[in-house]
Amino acid sequence: MKIRTLIERFEQFAPKSIAEPKDPVGLQLGSLDADFHKVLVTLDVRPEVVAEAVKIGADFIFAHHPMMFHPAKNLDLSDPQNQMYATLLQHHITVYAAHTNLDSANGGMNDWLADALGLTDTIGMVDGVRETNYLLTVHVQSVYADAIRLAMVGAGAGDMARYSGASFEWSGTTWFTPMQGADPDLGPVGERNSTEELALQARVPASKLQAVTQAVNAVYPGGHPALELTKLSDEGTQYAMGRIGNLSKPMTVREFAEHCKQVFHVAGLRVVAADMDQSIQRIAVLGGDGGKFFKIAQQKGADAYVTGDVYYHTGHDMIAAHFPVIDPGHHIESICKPHLTELFEQWRDQNKWQFEIVPSALNTDPFTFI
């Protein structure tokens, strides 16, 4: 199986187009056209993770954090980072990263974190990309209509707020004059003719447009259908980083901090709060380095905020704003490993693909609490 096949399915779930600007998501090293048999799922790509991949015979690493935030200035192998690249190339291991696109994806990283905390009725926190929606129209003879419709919705067309696979059709007459090389079944060359057809319409998000059109082309009789595409203004999915939701019952800041320790399996965390006994219930969460967004969380009605990598001076600003913040660290994003593994297993079984999925067994948190 080609790596590209799995990545195309993943990018329907978390399109690269919804990543934050300048975030180096996607292929990091290797080739999407390489065959693979075993994928190692990890949070970080570090030398010890690469050694793990070599040991278990993985030929593909799927990571959340990009391996190359900064380009290499040379290929001096005394640099551990450069040696890691060399080891990957030596063992023909391809590396792919899904970062802020996975953070913003519906059902992705920040939904996993919110679910782990037990939050309900969640909404997005920091608005990101609004994905354009299109209206796709395909004209086809009625005998082929069901095949075309199933191909469209099977590739992701027609998903709406509370419905999936929604499409519309109407009938009409298409008039035409066959020219040289036209389908002989549609009448003699040069003679005016007509045929009864159905027009099928469905909404398609930009990230799924290529997959939907390819699916239509694959089943359309004779290939090369005439597709009509209309951009829908002021409509489309609003993606967001972070989530805000409600705990089932109020907790004090102290109780909630202990809850975070248990949920995320951390030995210690940092609490930024003037009053540890303050009661909180509406919680914002954003995985990774999200301290700079605390004012947005507060403005949107959160009582407290969970994020990582809070800076010293930002902590002072949080205290001044009377806004409690729990910092359990950046490594809580390792929650992606079991969830990505489950997603890949689901897609593998649905499509009868043949490959093995292994979540990394390593803890790549650089910090130790003593």
Is 11 inside any structural domain? Answer: yes
Within this chain, do residues 44 and 125 fall inside the same structural domain, yes or no? no
Is 370 inside any structural domain? Answer: no
pLDDT band at 241 (very low <50, low <70, confident <90, very high): very high
Within this chain, do residues 115 and 249 fall inside the same structural domain, yes or no? yes
Is 368 inside any structural domain? Answer: no
Within this chain, do residues 125 and 249 fall inside the same structural domain, yes or no? yes
Is 367 inside any structural domain? Answer: no
| 197 assigned ligand-binding residue | no
CATH number at residue 313: 3.40.1390.30
Listed residues 210, 232, 254: the one ending a domain: 232
| 70 assigned ligand-binding residue | no
Q: What would the 3-class secondary structure string for the chain be?
A: CEHHHHHHHHHHHCCHHHCCCCCCCEEEECCCCCECCEEEEECCCCHHHHHHHHHHCCCEEEECCCCCCCCCCCCCCCCHHHHHHHHHHHCCCEEEECCHHHHHCCCCHHHHHHHHHCCEEEEEEEEEEECCEEEEEEEECHHHHHHHHHHHHHCCCCCCCCCCCCCEEEEEEEEECCCCCCCHHHCCCCCCEEEEEEEEEEEEEHHHHHHHHHHHHHHCCCCCCCEEEEEECCCCCEEEEEEEEEEEEEEEHHHHHHHHHHHHCCCCCEEECCCCCCEEEEEEEEEEECHHHHHHHHHCCCCEEEEECCCHHHHHHHHHCCCCEEECCHHHHHHHHHHHHHHHHHHHHHHCCCCEEEECCCCCCCCCCC
Within this chain, do residues 275 and 339 fall inside the same structural domain, yes or no? no
Within this chain, do residues 78 and 140 fall inside the same structural domain, yes or no? no
Is 247 inside any structural domain? Answer: yes
Domain that holds residue 282: 109-129+241-328
Is 364 inside any structural domain? Answer: no
Within this chain, do residues 228 and 136 fall inside the same structural domain, yes or no? yes
Mean pLDDT lowest for which of 114-128, 180-194, 232-246, 257-271? 180-194
| 103 assigned ligand-binding residue | yes
Q: What percent of the chain has pLDDT over 70?
A: 100
Mean pLDDT lowest for which of 53-62, 98-107, 112-121, 152-161? 152-161
**pTM score:** 0.85
Within this chain, do residues 136 and 74 fall inside the same structural domain, yes or no? no
What pLDDT, on the 0 to 100 scale, is given for residue 161?
A: 66
Tens of pLDDT, residue by residue over 26-85, are 999 999 999 999 999 999 999 999 999 999 999 999 999 999 888 889 999 999 999 999
| pLDDT, averaged across the chain | 94
| 258 assigned ligand-binding residue | no
Is 63 inside any structural domain? Answer: yes
Within this chain, do residues 281 and 349 fall inside the same structural domain, yes or no? no
Within this chain, do residues 24 and 95 fall inside the same structural domain, yes or no? yes
Mean pLDDT of 215-233: 87
| 330 assigned ligand-binding residue | yes
Total structural domains in the chain?
3
Within this chain, do residues 182 and 310 fall inside the same structural domain, yes or no? no
Within this chain, do residues 17 and 88 fall inside the same structural domain, yes or no? yes
Tens of pLDDT, residue by residue over 258-315, are 999 999 999 999 999 999 999 999 999 999 999 999 999 999 999 999 999 999 999 9
Within this chain, do residues 77 and 203 fall inside the same structural domain, yes or no? no
Is 124 inside any structural domain? Answer: yes
